[in-house]
Amino acid sequence: MADVIWRPDPARMARSHLQRLLTRTGTPDLEHLRARAAGDPAWFWQQVEQDLGVAWYQPYTQTLDLTDGVPWARWFQGGKMNAANDALDKHIATPRRRQLALVWEGEDGEVRRSSYFDLWQETNRVANALEELGVRTGDRVGIFLPMLPETAAAVLACCKIGAIFIPIFSGYGADAVATRLREGGAKVLVTADGFYRRGRPVLQKPVADQAAASCPDLEHMLVVRRLRADVAMSQPRDVAYDEIVARMRATYDTKQLDAETPVMLIYTSGTTGRPKAAVHVHAGFPLKAAQDLAHCFDLQGGDLLFWFTDMGWMMGPWEVFGALWLGSTMLFYEGTPDFPQPDRIWNLCERHGVTHLGISPTAIRALMTHGLQWVRKHDLSQLYVLGSTGEPWNPDPWRWYFDEVGGGRCPIVNYSGGTEISGGILSCFPDSPMVPCAFAGPVPGVPAEVLDEGGHAVRGEVGELAITGPWPGMTRGFWQDRERYLETYWSRWPGVWVHGDWARVDKDGFWFIEGRSDDTLKVAGKRVGPAEVESALVAHPAVVEAAAIGVPDELKGEAIVAFCILAPGAERSEALRAELKAWVGERLGKPLTPSDVRFVSDLPRTRNAKIIRRAVRAAHLGLPAGDLSALENPAALDQVRQSG
């Protein structure tokens, strides 16, 4: 039997949003709900939108239209709505108008709080300002901002107009920004003069200027003066955010839009070629985000959600739409998790009363190295749910998060999906038992399976994670690239979305992600996910973090090379290298013993701390790495090249 270490108590079950949906639909349990949703997705998603209280200007006449096939499913045909109406407008005539919608803290300690009414007024002013700059329904607007209150207002203002926003990671260089603006045909860019990073100002406007030089469609730049820095303002193109927004009306007639109206182009990095621009719509991405936060995380009105992210990553827009659609409060933080001291995240949670915390496994591994005293000095008793996404867990960090941060009280909602999904494929649920590092199963409404090479469902072995039916959050293709979308997700088996992850379902029905299918290692015919090798390595007291890759081998076909960051006090040596090789072999089997273990002080990662294994492999083998625009620390590639 699986090692179940957490079960819900009666109080959680009584509060559960998911349990209310089961009762409302007369469904006995989660497994029956999944099955019914897979068999009748139109019924299920009609129940979901009603459960979430979507405010339709005009009711839809058809829930699901499959005329053009599953890859091009269309939802809520005939319905008129607007994602910003559900995020803000519908709350303003209720007592919720006085509730906090957003708490923001800068790395320098500045704090700003906005009620729903405050954010609604600011968003209306920004919408009026964008219209004055020429933005109309269907136009694209780049959002190249750190996590600021103005960031949320800009995103929601685009929704009100019916413009399509393009969220861009705040740490990108000029080329990456320009690619997204140019391919999206952005008319306006909302950016900032800069932000704080580890106590130092980082100028963002010069990066935006350099990017704009190669974007012929860009007409205006709306500049938030976060730092009040002396940056160039090119007239008449550049407009100060505070000056134009201050003179705008605080009301706006939100556009009534078809449910399938595009709301966002969000780019994902590929292993090869240029980034992909996923197209999402008003009744797609926001609906899926809200559903996941309600049914997977049990986020409810009055709860406070803090997901450590950037607006350029999927979890940024996901937090905005999901939290506000549910009438909750969201916390934005501008800086790094361990500045000026290693307890910054725990300090934020205590002071602001965070109930739902989301952070990556890699960030937890990094915070663990500072010692227990930094988390134990804070009262985290208000935490209710812990979340994580982005990569597989290792057991020791998972237990540290569960025991030290959550005090053994809080479930860890392990959550995995993607930008093109609008959220989760697999998740845990706060009213279901939990096993370390595992998923309880598919999110209801996303009919997931593990398929073997012949496309047959399997249990107890590793296979491709696939989705066998439509859901509203699926991307409506890649921007101006229909064929690439079909080739990427729908070309292997008819009507089946192949996500690119290896997964496994154990004998007790718990699901595990084993890594990206293009990362998977196959040593002498034995297939293993890199996460398994990495988990074995970080279980050794000398290793803090690891990345495992496959390299060509004449005898085995592929051999394992591991790159390890050592714990403080551990010294690089041939003896330790040999010990780590043997350590992995003992735990995974001698055939899976790494051929080499190399020591580095850093690994290439995104700002939200996700290690980019393909970059490690490319640097080690001297191969092209594909798109590296999301890379936070390029110098780490030199570490890999020079490792020994």
Band the pLDDT of 572: cuts 50, 70, 90. very high
Contact 544, 565 (CB under 8 A): yes
Residue 191 identity: T
Q: At residue 526, does pLDDT exceed 70?
A: no
This prediction has a pTM of 0.85
Separation in Å, CA 50 to CA 173, 223, 291, 509:
42, 39, 11, 30
Give the C-alpha separation, 504 to 438, whole Å: 10
Question: In the predicted model, is pLDDT for residue 458 greater than 70?
Answer: yes
Model confidence at 176, pLDDT cuts 50, 70, 90, reads confident
Res 408: pLDDT:
97
Please indicate whether residue 29 or residue 529 has the higher confidence score (pLDDT).
Answer: 29
pLDDT-wise least confident of 29-33, 417-421, 551-555: 551-555
Q: Are 514 and 504 in contact (CB under 8 A)?
A: yes
Tell me the two tokens of residue 124.
């209306």
Closest CA relative to residue 108, chosen from 203, 224, 227, 206:
227
Tell me the three state secondary structure of residue 147. coil
Q: Does residue 246 surpass a pLDDT of 60? A: yes
Parallel, antiparallel or unpaired: strands 74-77 and 62-65: antiparallel
User: What are the residue ranges of helices labelled H in 88-173?
Assistant: 116-132, 149-161
CA torsion sign for 369, 371, 377, 381 is positive
**Average pLDDT for the chain:** 93
**pLDDT tens for each residue of 380-438:** 999 999 999 977 788 899 999 999 999 999 999 999 999 999 999 999 999 899 999 99
Per-residue pLDDT reduced to its tens digit, 108-131: 999 999 999 999 999 999 999 999
Contact assessment for residue 42 and residue 65, using Cβ atoms and an 8 Å cutoff:
no
Instruction: Quick: pLDDT tens for 93-102.
Output: 999 999 999 9
Most confident stretch, 134-143, 590-599, 617-626 = 134-143
Number of residues written out for the chain:
644
pLDDT-derived band at 89, boundaries 50, 70, 90 = very high
In contact, 421 and 288? CB cutoff 8 Å:
yes
Other C-beta atoms lying within 10 Å of the C-beta of residue 302:
13
The whole-number average pLDDT for the span 238-266 is 98
Residue 174: per-residue pLDDT: 87
- List of residues 6+ apart from 103 with CB closer than 8 A: 111, 112, 113, 114, 304, 329, 330, 331, 332, 352
Considering the chain, what percentage of its residues have pLDDT values greater than 90? 81
Residues of the chain above pLDDT 70, percent: 96
Alpha-carbon distance of 49 to 559, in angstroms, equals: 49
| Residue 271 confidence class, pLDDT cut points 50, 70, 90 | very low
Q: What is the pLDDT of residue 535?
A: 84
Do residues 344 and 336 lie in contact, with contact meaning Cβ atoms separated by under 8 Å?
yes
pLDDT tops 80 at residue 554: no
Residue 527 — pLDDT band, cuts 50, 70, 90? low
Ramachandran region of residue 101, left (φ > 0), alpha (ψ -120 to 50) or beta?
alpha
Residue 555 vs residue 143, higher pLDDT: 143
Q: Is the pLDDT of residue 502 over 90?
A: no
pLDDT of residue 222: 98
Q: Are 500 and 518 in contact (CB under 8 A)?
A: yes
**Phi, psi (deg, nearest 5) at residue 118:** -60, -50
**Radius of gyration over alpha carbons of the chain, in Å?**
24
d(CA 294, CA 296): 6
Question: Sorting pLDDT into bands at 50, 70 and 90, what band is 625?
Answer: confident
Tell me which H or E stretch contains 104: strand 100-105
pLDDT over threshold 70, residue 46:
yes
Q: Is the pLDDT of residue 224 over 90?
A: yes
The mean pLDDT value for 463-488 works out to: 96
* DSSP assignment string, 262-326: EEEEEEE--SSSSPEEEEEETTTHHHHHHHHHHHTS---TT-EEEE---TTSTHHHHHHHHHHHT
pLDDT reading at 521 higher than 80:
no
Q: Give the Cα-Cα-Cα angle 119, 125, 127 (nearest 5 degrees).
A: 100
Give residue 269's identity as a one-letter amino acid code: S
Q: Give every CB contact of residue 527 below 8 A, 6+ residues apart in sequence.
A: 462, 502, 520, 521
For residue 367, CA distances in Å to 339, 352, 372, 374, 545 come to 11, 20, 9, 9, 12
Look at residue 525 in the predicted model and tell me its pLDDT.
Answer: 57
Query: What is 388-444 written as a DSSP string?
Result: E-SSPPPHHHHHHIIIIISTTTS-EEE-EEETTTTEEEEE--TTS-B-TT-B-EEPT
pLDDT of 1 above 60: no
How many angstroms separate the Cα of 514 from the Cα of each of 315, 501, 517, 527? 21, 7, 8, 10
Q: Residue 500's pLDDT is what?
A: 87
Give the pLDDT of residue 612: 86
Residues 6 or more apart whose Cβ sits within 8 Å of residue 70: 469, 470, 490, 495
Q: Does 160 score more than 70 pLDDT? A: yes
Q: Which amino acid is at 321?
A: F
Structure confidence at residue 272 (pLDDT): 42
| pLDDT grade for 45, boundaries at 50, 70 and 90 | very high
Locate 288 and state its tokens: 């899926």
> Which two structure tokens, joined as six digits, stand for 275?
């980034």
Sign of the C-alpha dihedral, residues 524, 530, 535, 537?
positive
Asked if pLDDT for residue 36 goes beyond 60, the answer is yes
| All structural domains of the chain | 519-641 (3.30.300.30)
Q: Residue 190 region, left (φ>0) first, then alpha (ψ -120 to 50), else beta?
A: beta
CA proximity to 57, closest of 250, 251, 254: 254
pLDDT at residue 608 in the model:
64
Output the six-digit token pair for 375: 């988390």
Separation CA 279–CA 293 (nearest Å): 21
3-state helix, strand, coil in the chain (%, to 5): 35, 25, 40
Residue 533: predicted pLDDT: 87
Task: State residue 414 phi and psi, 5-degree precision.
Answer: -75, 130
pLDDT of residue 466: 97
